Structure 1
Amino acid sequence: MECRWQAIASRYAESVSLIVIGTMPTAIENDAIYLDVIQTLEATYGSRDERHPVAIPKLNLSWLDRDLMGEAKVFVQQRGWRRWRYLWWLRVVNFLGWLLMRFGGSAWQNYRQLVLLTVDFQKFDDGLRMVVSGDAVMRRVLIAYLEQQYRAGNLVYGYRVSDRVVMTCLIFERHGQQVHFVDGANGGYALAARSLKQRLEERQKFSDRAV
């Protein structure tokens, strides 16, 4: 695992880490809810490319400890001078990478494009999980819709707003197979999951009162 990029500023005003879980009785009904959520998202935030949380001009290698420390902790588990030496080595490697992406051959000059194409920012497993970039007006429209669906008993949701995103990178081949997972900075999915849990508990309280 290695991820040597700066935290990535939102393409627009903000990035939203969003989790949506359908609460309908059947899988078919939940699938219909998810489809409606996606259609509302596209009507509000635009196409996949338009709401993508990463843009090439915002993609820059980092020199900061806070961005490089994750890799350093993985490869140098003990604290002390060895870890700090590894951090300085990462800075040297990043400087060489910057030179190659600026002045190297086509493979290196297109490396940011490869990263962009391998960013995983939308997941569909036991629910919808995604990070989208937009502005506050878009978010308010989307959240109003989700709140309406939540009050109707169709879904639960949680979200977290940030001004930037961070990546976790799995590099199998430098110019080939790789995947970059995106999350909002300062909590992202973790805090979105917390707010979703609060809505689940709130819904359960209403259900208990109705019995």
Structure 2
Amino acid sequence: MTTDSFYAGLPKTRSFDSLAAPEAFVPLPPDWHLCCTDIVNSTGLAAAGRYKTVNMIGTAVIAAMRNALQGEPFPFIFGGDGASFAVPARHKDTARKVLAGLRSWTKAEYGVSLRAAMLPMDWIRAEGLDVRIARYAVSEHADFAMFNGGGLAWAESQMKAGAFAVAAAPQAGPPDLSGLSCRWSNTPARNGIILSVVAQPAPGTSPRAFARLSAELLDLASELAEDGHPVPDSGPKLRFPPAGLALEAQASRGNQPVILRKFYLFFHSLFAGVLFALKRPAGGFDPVHYLSVLKAHSDFRKFDDGLKMTLDCTPAISNRIRGRLQQAAGAGLVQFGLHEQDAAMVTCIVPSPVEDDHIHFVDGAGGGYTQAAANLAAAFGISKNPA
């Protein structure tokens, strides 16, 4: 296996629970580069009701890189207010170009500042940290990368301090965001609470000790229907006008006037809404099958130098998760943040509606991972630049 084909050749697992074990992860090759992004003042944007914009920009980072690499697999992870990914050395210039363009585009299109950083793996390992990857297959058609080793969290903290920055490219054209979609309405909690969980090993915690805690948290979530998956079998609702239509129009308009793109997306959504309501196939598109795949291909839990979950949760299970985390924090094993809200949101990358390779990123609709991470920082006295 060459380093270029490292990720394509990485074995996939269908068991999420098995990812709690440190041995499920493999180090990135030494000549790869790690890239990370996040939105400046995402907590303030969430408080102002713009969290759908925050999620859309985070997903746009992944969509832009997927299109730039023309479908070549690479490890990426959605973080709510940003996204991170890794590429082999031959793609580092492409990654830098995409990130530079995205920084200018988000500012010009949405008035939102995006941080971006890129650094080689040997710089991370010089800090005594690592970036280790696993590949979790949600079906034969789609999978998500999982990260551990501490290197990604360290790189993100360095990025927020201004290190390893990728400069914006004001003259760059609009990014290719083909497939990016954010038209679904928020999905209300069915069990009372949408619980956002961000749990990270405390400094000095062994990987094995954190793995045991993660397994306990997953066991608690398993007591919920479908492990707490917040997307129902019927999928999220598509109401009119679609909640994220204006955001998607801005993201996908290219050099076209945004009003024309809005008209196109509105009538496209109207036609799709009729198909979903009738539950009848048309032109190779089967709405019932699409929704079943949407649920299966949603990343409501992940390992991201820690454990993150978006759970449709009962108050009783939420209290037990909080209690177990408080107990572990008291023992010096974990730092954590939780956030409760009444709905979840889904942002999508759909290369083709008639294929099964679409993927969907789940977050809490009321601040989600961003607010949970802010609560973590506040509770554990972590000094950080505005999230």
- Class of the TM-score when normalised by the shorter of the 2 chains: 0.7 to 0.9
Name the stretch that deviates more: 73-82 or 186-195.
73-82
After superposition, residues 145-160 of structure 1 pair within 5 angstroms as 145-160=324-339
2:186 corresponds in structure 1 to: 7
CA RMSD of aligned residues (A): 2.6
- Give the conservation status (yes or no) of the 8 Å contact 1:62–1:94: no
2:363 corresponds in structure 1 to: 183
2:207 aligned residue (17, 27, 30): 30
2:196 corresponds in structure 1 to: 17
CA pair 188-65 structure 1, distance change in 2 beyond 3 A: same
Cα distance in 2 for residues equivalent to 1:14 and 1:90:
33
Cα distance in 2 for residues equivalent to 1:104 and 1:160:
39
After superposition, residues 55-134 of structure 1 pair within 5 angstroms as 55-57=232-234, 59-76=236-253, 81-82=259-260, 84-99=262-277, 102-104=279-281, 107-134=286-313
Find the residue that maps to 2:352 and give its secondary structure.
coil
1:200 corresponds in structure 2 to: 380
2:80 corresponds in structure 1 to: none
Counterpart residue type for residue 359 of structure 2:
V
Unaligned 5+ runs, structure 1 = 205-211
Cα distance in 2 for residues equivalent to 1:140 and 1:33:
20
Name the stretch that deviates more: 145-154 or 81-90.
81-90
Counterpart residue type for residue 195 of structure 2:
V
CA pair 172-4 structure 1, distance change in 2 beyond 3 A: same
Cα distance in 1 for residues equivalent to 2:375 and 2:227:
26
1:43 aligned residue (220, 238, 244): 220
- Give the conservation status (yes or no) of the 8 Å contact 2:246–2:262: no
Cα distance in 1 for residues equivalent to 2:280 and 2:352:
21
- Give the conservation status (yes or no) of the 8 Å contact 1:41–1:142: no
Find the residue that maps to 2:366 and give its secondary structure.
coil
Measured after TM superposition, the shift of residue 140 of structure 1 is 1.0
- Give the conservation status (yes or no) of the 8 Å contact 1:9–1:165: yes
Cα distance in 1 for residues equivalent to 2:221 and 2:348:
29
- Give the conservation status (yes or no) of the 8 Å contact 1:118–1:179: yes
Runs of 4+ off more than 4 Å? 77-80
Superposition TM-score, scaled by structure 1 size: 0.81
Name the stretch that deviates more: 138-147 or 78-87.
78-87
Counterpart residue type for residue 111 of structure 1:
Y
- Give the conservation status (yes or no) of the 8 Å contact 2:194–2:341: yes
Cα distance in 1 for residues equivalent to 2:371 and 2:237:
26
1:208 corresponds in structure 2 to: none
- Give the conservation status (yes or no) of the 8 Å contact 1:21–1:128: yes
Find the residue that maps to 1:158 and give its secondary structure.
strand
Measured after TM superposition, the shift of residue 47 of structure 1 is 6.3
Where relative contact order (Cα < 8 A, 6+ residues apart) is larger, the structure is 1
Q: Deviations over 1:135-167 (max 9, x none)?
A: 111111110111111122111001111111001
Q: Deviations over 1:84-116 (max 9, x none)?
A: 4245334323334425x6122784332211111
Counterpart residue type for residue 14 of structure 1:
I
1:165 aligns with 2:165: no
Cα distance in 2 for residues equivalent to 1:5 and 1:80:
19
Measured after TM superposition, the shift of residue 65 of structure 1 is 4.5
Superposition TM-score, scaled by structure 2 size: 0.47
- Give the conservation status (yes or no) of the 8 Å contact 2:224–2:313: no
Counterpart residue type for residue 148 of structure 1:
Q
Measured after TM superposition, the shift of residue 44 of structure 1 is 5.3
- Give the conservation status (yes or no) of the 8 Å contact 1:20–1:156: yes
Cα distance in 2 for residues equivalent to 1:65 and 1:111:
18
- Give the conservation status (yes or no) of the 8 Å contact 1:7–1:67: no
Find the residue that maps to 1:149 and give its secondary structure.
helix
1:54 corresponds in structure 2 to: 231
Write 1 or 2 for the structure with the bigger share of helix: 1
- Give the conservation status (yes or no) of the 8 Å contact 1:45–1:134: no
Find the residue that maps to 1:133 and give its secondary structure.
strand
- Give the conservation status (yes or no) of the 8 Å contact 1:15–1:133: yes
